[in-house]
Amino acid sequence: MARAAIRYAKAVLSLANDQNSAEAVNDDMKLIANTIAENKDLSDMLQSPVISPSIKKSALQAIFKDTNALTGNVIDTLITNKRIDIFGDVASKFNELYATSKGIESGTVTTAIPLTDDLKAKVLAKAKELTGKKVTVENIVDENILGGFILRVGDLQYNASIANQLNKIKREFTLN
């Protein structure tokens, strides 16, 4: 199923680039991926073999009515090809391919408290310094790190947490 989602996503990205609407379609696909991921009823409806394709299409058109015309065509194509069950996967893969095409990496930053705009800017600057690429980050709050942050981008991890620093000190004392 993942290979099919990648093929559809590549085709949509190619069309979106040809029509100079890749950014708008990317915004639509983010909305679609998040909506399907966060709404179990919608996800179940798309997976259900009992619900007719016409009902699925009507529901999706109502939910995502303010999207780009190309996004609407994706819904039509997936319905026609009896692959609407992978719509969420197609949307996610599209977002990944779009980001890659723009040289943007995504990552996570774990902090003890939610990031302020100022701190987010500093973390993004550090991420760009470490990777040499533009990075978007998702903030995960974990009070166990006490302070500082843990930045993960791809295979790279930068741990500037207080908990990590305390563990280093603890290891030094136990070795001596």
| pLDDT tens-digit readout, 78-116 | 999 999 999 999 999 999 899 889 888 888 888 888 988
What digits encode the pLDDT tens for the residues 24-42? 999 999 999 999 999 999 9
- The owner of tokens 């903030």 is 139
Give me the helices (H) in the chain, please: 2-18, 22-38, 40-47, 53-63, 69-80, 87-101, 117-131, 162-175
CATH class of residue range 2-100: mainly alpha
Look up the pTM and report it.
Answer: 0.71
CATH 1.10.520.20 maps onto the chain at 2-100
pLDDT for position 29: 96
The span from the CA of 95 to the CA of 97, in Å, is: 6
The backbone region for 146, taken as left when phi is positive above 0, alpha when psi lies in -120 to 50, beta otherwise, is left
Give the residue-averaged pLDDT of 116-133: 85
Q: How far, in Å, are 7, 42, 88, 144 from residue 47 at the CA level?
A: 19, 9, 11, 38
